Amino acid sequence: MKYLIATTILLLSAGALADERGSERNGHQSFSTPIGAWILEVEFPLVDGAPPPPPAFRETLTFHAFGTVSESNTLLNENSYNPALGQGCGFTGPAGALELNCNGSEGTGSWRRTGRNTLDFVAVKLVYDGETNAQVGFLRVRGTLRFRDDRISQESSDSLTEILIGTDYETAIAIPLGGANASGVRIR
């Protein structure tokens, strides 16, 4: 029995050392999964003939095991509306400019791996009237992200942001706001 335990420990140690040496040969720690926390820079592109897009912003994404995602950003969160500055959740989409006096919750959603270095996700925020704090709708973001090692990115053509007007997620009216470019790094 002692021989069996000693052999098992030796084999496990040898496997761990081989994995560590393989990573050192590549010059970096290699990640084969998006699971973990990321910080991204997000920017809606300027579209000819459309009103100006919202300003670029920073976002955190956390991909959890078993397919859930958490999100927060500096553009639309609970304290983002500042009436003194005239800021609200203004967006530009195919339907034109949409300026609302609103705040948003943190986002939550789901993701699934679609390839070796790609995943599809959807994240939803609750949207509140900035003055009364009554819920008026949702903000939904869908997209495809590409990840490799400690980097992650998205093209605007691979994403769609929509505001959903109404408090019933199933029947809310979706207004497309367009896609966004994003790139970022793993938080370690």
- Quote the tokens at residue 168: 């019933």
- Across 27-41, average pLDDT: 79
Instruction: Report pLDDT for 88.
Output: 52
| Mean per-residue pLDDT over the chain, rounded | 79
- pLDDT higher for 5 or 122? 122
**Mean pLDDT, residues 58-64 taken together:** 96
CATH, range 31-186: 2.40.128.120
Q: What is the pLDDT of residues 133-184, one digit of tens each?
A: 889 899 999 999 999 989 999 999 999 999 899 999 999 999 888 899 999 9
Domain boundaries, the chain: 1-28, 31-186
**In this structure, are residues 94 and 87 in contact, taking their beta carbons and an 8 Å threshold?**
no
The phi and psi torsions of 24 (rounded to 5 degrees) equal -65, -35
Residues recorded for the chain: 188
Q: What is the pTM of this model?
A: 0.74
First to last CA, the chain: 41
